[in-house]
Amino acid sequence: MVLMRQEIGDVLRDFRQQKGRTLRQVAGEASVALGYLSEVERGQKEASSEILAAVADALDTPLSVIMGEVSERLAVVEGLALPMGNRVPDTVPAELVSGYSPQLVS
């Protein structure tokens, strides 16, 4: 079973390391206890939305980008072939095209 907190922690750590920031720097800028942020990164604690927003701000990364990465990693763990954001449906549901001429929707 995949744990959301583990994936969030892994993503936060990866973004922090990619930016060359220490745990101490990010925790200080986000006004989060160093030990608590460490536990979040290790997947031992669940971070509130306020903590996630503060850490994202400290990393100069939109929270949507962080959560998008979490979502893509969860999709891989769950065995989806492609992350959901990259999927384009190849058919249009019938209820959306009913009433249109078949020549227009084929």
Mean pLDDT score of the chain, rounded to an integer? Answer: 87
Nearest partner of 21 among 70, 67, 60, judged by Cα: 60
Q: Is 80 helix (H, G, I), strand (E, B) or coil?
A: coil
**pLDDT given for residue 92 in this prediction:** 65
**DSSP H or E stretch at residue 50:** helix 49-58
Spell out a b/e string for 79-96, using b for 16 or more CB atoms within 10 Å of the CB, else e.
Answer: eeeeeeeeeeeeeeeeee
Mean pLDDT of 35-57: 97
Confidence of residue 105 (pLDDT cuts 50, 70, 90): low
Confidence of residue 31 (pLDDT cuts 50, 70, 90): very high
pTM comes to 0.75
For tokens 């979490």, what's the residue?
A: 70
Residue 86 pLDDT > 60, yes or no?
no
**pLDDT given for residue 40 in this prediction:** 98
Residue 51 pLDDT > 80, yes or no?
yes
Torsion of CA 59, 49, 37, 17, to 10 degrees: -30
**pLDDT given for residue 88 in this prediction:** 58
